Amino acid sequence: MGKEIPADFFVTKLNEAKVHFERALDCKHTDFDDLYPYMIEHPQFFWYKRYVAWSELLTVVKLCKELDVEWEQQFSQQQVDYINKRVMSSKVLDYWFETNDTREHVG
């Protein structure tokens, strides 16, 4: 059997995935740009980039859940709700960085 992986390893990976997703949201450089430089000219490039980063974030969260590693404290309650719903909707893209509850509650 392999050695025990410390919980802080997953917290670090979670933080990296969060930063990666947030950089993709902000249209900043990520590893995806280096992997697919020819894609930059395609109009759907930023959608793909965000999708890949979101998938990575959900995967790391899934691992944390399966291993009982605390993950929610890295995010606002609103972000936790988005992650638990798993769907990268326009609401996630538009309100990920919102820190207060001023957005509409009607719905």
Both tokens of residue 77?
A: 């309650």
3-state helix, strand, coil in the chain (%, to 5): 65, 0, 35
The gap between the terminal CA atoms of the chain, to the nearest Å, is 50
For the stretch 75-86, pLDDT in tens is: 999 999 999 999
By C-alpha distance, which of 50, 46, 56, 38 is closest to 96? 50
Helix axes 77-85, 45-66, angle to 10 degrees: 100
Count of Cβ atoms closer than 10 Å to residue 32 Cβ: 22
Listed in sequence order, the residues at least 6 apart from 58 whose beta carbon sits closer than 8 Å to its beta carbon are: 83, 86
Mean pLDDT of the chain: 88
Q: Which residue is associated with the tokens 């990976």?
A: 13
For the stretch 41-64, pLDDT in tens is: 888 888 899 999 999 999 999 999
